[in-house]
Amino acid sequence: DAKTTQPPSMDCAEGRAANLPCNHSTISGNEYVYWYRQIHSQGPQYIIHGLKNNETNEMASLIITEDRKSSTLILPHATLRDTAVYYCIVRSRIKAAGNKLTFGGGTRVLVKP
Partner 1 sequence: KAGVTQTPRYLIKTRGQQVTLSCSPISGHRSVSWYQQTPGQGLQFLFEYFSETQRNKGNFPGRFSGRQFSNSRSEMNVSTLELGDSALYLCASSLEGGAHNSPLHFGNGTRLTVT
29 makes contact with partner 1 (CB under 8 A): no
28 makes contact with partner 1 (CB under 8 A): no
Q: Give ∠ CA 72-70-106 in degrees, rounded to 5.
A: 65
4 makes contact with partner 1 (CB under 8 A): no
> Closest distance between partner 1 and the C-beta of residue 83, in Å?
17
Which region among 9-17, 19-27, 68-76, 97-105 touches partner 1 (by CB under 8 A)?
Answer: 97-105
3 makes contact with partner 1 (CB under 8 A): no
**What is d(CA 82, CA 37) in angstroms, rounded to the nearest whole number?**
9
Amino acid at 38: Q
96 makes contact with partner 1 (CB under 8 A): yes
Which residues of this chain interact with partner 1, rule CB under 8 A? Answer: 32, 34, 36, 41-46, 49, 51, 87, 91-105
